[in-house]
Amino acid sequence: MATTAGKLYLRTLRRHWLPYTTGIVALFSCSISEVMIPKFVQWALDLIGGRMSMLPAWIGAERNVATLNMLILSLLLVLLLGLLGRFGWRQLLARQTHVSGRDLKVHFWQVLRHLPLATFHEYSLGDLMNRATGDWNATRAIHGFTLVQSLDLIFFSVLSIASMIAIDWKLALACLVILPFLPRNILKLARRERDQHEIAQDKLGELSDAVTQSLSTIRLQRATHSEALWEERLHREAREYSERRFAVVKTGWKIYPLAALPTLGAYAVLLYWGVHLVQIGQLSIGQFVAMQSYVLMLQGPLADMGDCIAEWQRGFASFGRMVEIFNLQALAERFLGKNALPEEQSPRLSVNHLTFCYSDSSRQVLKDVTLQVAPGEHIGIFGPIGAGKSTLLAVSAGLVEVAPGFVSLAGVDVHDLDRTWLAQHVTMVPQRAFLFAGSIRYNLQLDQEFSEAELWSVLSLVRLDADVRRFPGGLDTWVGEWGINLSGGQKQRLALARALLRERSMILLDDCLSAVDAVTEEEILRGLRDRLRGTTVIWVAHRMSTLKLCDQVYQLDGGELSPFDLTNAADQNGMRPGGAP
């Protein structure tokens, strides 16, 4: 059954009830400490002015050193209470922001990783990235920092108003007469800000998607000289997002003048009526100073009220977008439940009369393709750009869904194959692999730990070790996202090294040495001959020299796959099948 953001939020509060409850108590004690400080100022001034009747009995009733010492000691105890309270809510309530953020990220990933691939036609990569970053950040805030701000506003406001009423209830009510009319108007603006925030987040998703598409088609743009069109589109998307975002900010700005009205009104009352009460002796100097201190202190919570309401509105709007993905868990579980585990451990690939075209095109990318790859066999595929080579690899890796009955791995239809098993036995190295913003070591290891010897060994295998040793930080040299500060060949070799570190039964190589020079490629191939012995390899390339390791080579042209005569190729390239010169 589909859940809602409100239900899931309450479920989180119940699950972590102890840190939330203890944190609220700590926050309340901190608010008490802050509200008590003006009272001590009031009592000190009354003590100096000789208004002993204004002092509480537990401080003392005489104007002497003992009374002053008791006042100072009490103040220190109150300050200590505030210090402990501040430490407590930071360790408990504020920490829940990070705890919930971790739980949200894990849940988000667990749902996405088991969804059928067709789901990602509905939710684009840019949209999902936006939900996993911007929406995630707003959502985790309402589980901690926004909750702290709200509770502090409530505690501090109630205690301050109660203290003002205790001093002089008529003067306090006159100072706060505007306050009841304020929340309704602020709430109205906050709702408008929430609606604008949702529109802005959708627009950010569209912008992220456009950026992703632009990066993935950059070669095509250069080949067709369409960079200007893409630049215009990105400018337009960015401008529309900035306009939506600025509309949110402008609505938020309108809240601050409203929040300042009660403070201005209260000071007007104090300067007129409060001063009069002091002059006629109905209000002491200490009480007047305390009263104006509370008015000044209330300005902060009143100004924060708009921010607070807006953050709740934004937070639940973003939480709703994340819950939309969480509600796909039932679909993920159904899909996961039908996945089968193969009895065979070595991936034996079977493609039978596969014809394939993408949903947004009627052109047949693959036409009646049949391919049988035995465990441990090395297969090479070459052909012109757009022939369908990358599509065939993606289908074989289960990254592109096809109808049941056409492709199987280890005797199980790839449509029903368990995704976890697939990830443990098959790896793919694309021509343009993604590199994370992080060190070379991080990009190699990712979620696993490898020794220095293992890292240098695999870097040596792909002939990247000498380059890395020349870098100032060695393995800890920083790599920008997409490997922006590496050459094309270095990026490809780093991605290949990362795949070789994780030994799999089948490896799919999508022209992953296209940017490497012929001499370096020859050295890499000699090392891979032993490394990939016993591994099932399907290698796509444009250069015939790259396919030296292959037992059988196929040509893919116009979507049609046909065996290629290696004898002629061997004579022309000075090599024999299997890579023997």
| DSSP string over 130-174 | HIIIIIHHHHHHTTTHHHHHHHHHHHHHHHHHHHHHHH-HHHHHH
Rounded to a whole number, what is the largest CA-CA distance in the chain? 115
Residues 6+ apart with CB under 8 A from 53: none
Strand order in the sheet with 536-541: 426-429, 506-510, 536-541, 378-382, 552-557, 560-563
Q: What's the pLDDT at 14? A: 92
Q: Both tokens of residue 369?
A: 């393709």
Nearest to 61 by CA among 80, 83, 46, 40: 46
Q: What's the pLDDT at 572? A: 45
Q: Which amino acid is at 548?
A: K
Residues 6+ apart with CB under 8 A from 317: 138, 194, 197, 198, 201
Q: What's the pLDDT at 1? A: 54
Radius of gyration of the chain (CA): 34
Quick check: 491 and 433 in contact, CB under 8 A? yes
Q: Both tokens of residue 27?
A: 């926050």
Q: What's the pLDDT at 32? A: 93
Nearest to 379 by CA among 551, 252, 237, 229: 551
Q: Both tokens of residue 420?
A: 């976890």
Domains of the chain (ranges, CATH numbers): 97-334 (1.20.1560.10), 349-434+502-579 (3.40.50.300)
Q: Which residue has the tokens 């985790």?
A: 140
Q: What's the pLDDT at 33? A: 93
Nearest to 116 by CA among 485, 476, 467, 402: 402
Residues 6+ apart with CB under 8 A from 484: none
Burial of 314 (0-12, 13-18, 19+ CB in 10 A): buried
Quick check: 492 and 449 in contact, CB under 8 A? no
Q: What's the pLDDT at 571? A: 45
Q: Which residue has the tokens 């950010």?
A: 204
Q: How many residues does the chain have?
A: 581
pLDDT tens track, the chain, 581 positions = 568 888 999 999 999 999 999 999 999 999 999 999 999 888 888 888 777 666 777 776 666 677 788 888 889 999 999 999 999 999 999 889 999 988 998 888 888 877 766 667 677 776 788 788 888 888 999 999 999 989 988 998 899 999 999 999 898 888 888 766 666 677 677 778 777 877 887 788 788 778 877 876 776 777 777 788 888 888 888 888 888 888 888 887 777 677 677 778 888 888 889 888 888 888 888 889 999 888 888 877 776 776 787 788 888 988 998 898 888 876 666 555 556 666 666 678 888 888 888 766 667 788 888 888 888 888 888 888 778 888 888 888 877 777 777 888 888 888 777 777 777 888 888 877 777 778 888 888 887 788 888 888 888 888 888 888 888 888 888 887 666 777 777 888 888 888 888 888 888 888 877 777 878 888 888 888 888 888 888 888 877 777 877 888 888 888 888 888 655 554 444 443 333 33
Kind of pairing between the strands at 560-563 and 407-409: unpaired
Q: What's the pLDDT at 577? A: 37
